[in-house]
Amino acid sequence: MALRRSLSRVVMSAAATALLFAGAAPATAGDDHHHHPSPPSEQFYQGRVTAPGGLRLHTSPTTGSEVIGFAPRGSVVDIFCKAPGETVDGNPLWYLLADGTWAWGPARYIKNIGPAPRWC
């Protein structure tokens, strides 16, 4: 249940970030808040880390947010979804990773394996 609450907070944060960048209004109090994603592992996408020295993973889709993990170059990561964030080397997309903890990595340094991830 703690994972579901944590995922819910991260996804809601991602949605708020996406709305902020898109200029949309936030959800109103009357909206349905009972459906929270809890995907089985087969619904994750995968990517390979391409950053020369590995990739720092963050609490939100910005390089200034807290670093909460690290993925070595060449490692394969599970991706839940993508969202707009701080532009990193020309790429404004960030991936929400689900490798033991929920963390954000800039898409600029994660090469998709298979289809591109869905939007958060």
In a domain, 11, yes or no: yes
Q: What pLDDT, on a 0 to 100 scale, did the predictor assign at position 106?
A: 98
In a domain, 67, yes or no: yes
What CATH number should be reported for the domain holding residue 64? 2.30.30.40
CB 68 within 8 A of CB 59: yes
pTM over 0.85: no
In a domain, 106, yes or no: yes
Query: Amino acid identity, residue 4?
Result: R
- Give per-residue pLDDT as tens, 45-71: 999 999 999 999 999 999 999 999 999
Q: What pLDDT, on a 0 to 100 scale, did the predictor assign at position 42?
A: 61
Q: Is the pLDDT of residue 36 over 60?
A: no
Residue 87 tokens read as 């532009």
Instruction: Quote the number of domains for the chain.
Output: 1
Residue 79: which domain range? 2-23+43-113
Alpha-carbon torsion (25, 59, 120, 108), positive or negative: positive
In a domain, 33, yes or no: no
Q: What pLDDT, on a 0 to 100 scale, did the predictor assign at position 72?
A: 97
In a domain, 119, yes or no: no
- 49 versus 33: the higher-pLDDT residue is 49
Characterise 102 by phi-psi region: left (phi > 0), alpha (psi -120 to 50), beta (else). Answer: beta
In a domain, 120, yes or no: no
